[in-house]
Structure 1
Amino acid sequence: MHVAPVGGTAVQDHVALAEIELCGDLIIAASAAREDRLSMDCIDEVLRVAEEREESFGG
Structure 2
Amino acid sequence: MPRESVVQDREALAEIELYGELIIAASAEPEERLSADRIDEVLGTGRRSGPEREGG
TM over 0.5: yes
Give every structure 1 segment of 4 or more consecutive aligned residues whose post-TM-superposition deviation is greater than 2 Å.
none
Q: Report the aligned-residue RMSD.
A: 1.9
Task: Summarize deviations over 1:29-49 as a string: whole Å, max 9, x none.
Answer: 000001000000000000111
| Residue ranges of structure 1 left out of the alignment (5+ in a row) | 1-11, 51-59
Please state which structure has a larger fraction of its residues in helix: 2
Q: TM-score, normalised by structure 2?
A: 0.66
Computing the radius of gyration from Cα coordinates, the structure with the larger value is: 1
Percent of counterpart pairs with the same letter?
Answer: 69
Q: TM-score, normalised by structure 1?
A: 0.63
In the alignment of these two chains, the number of paired residues is 41
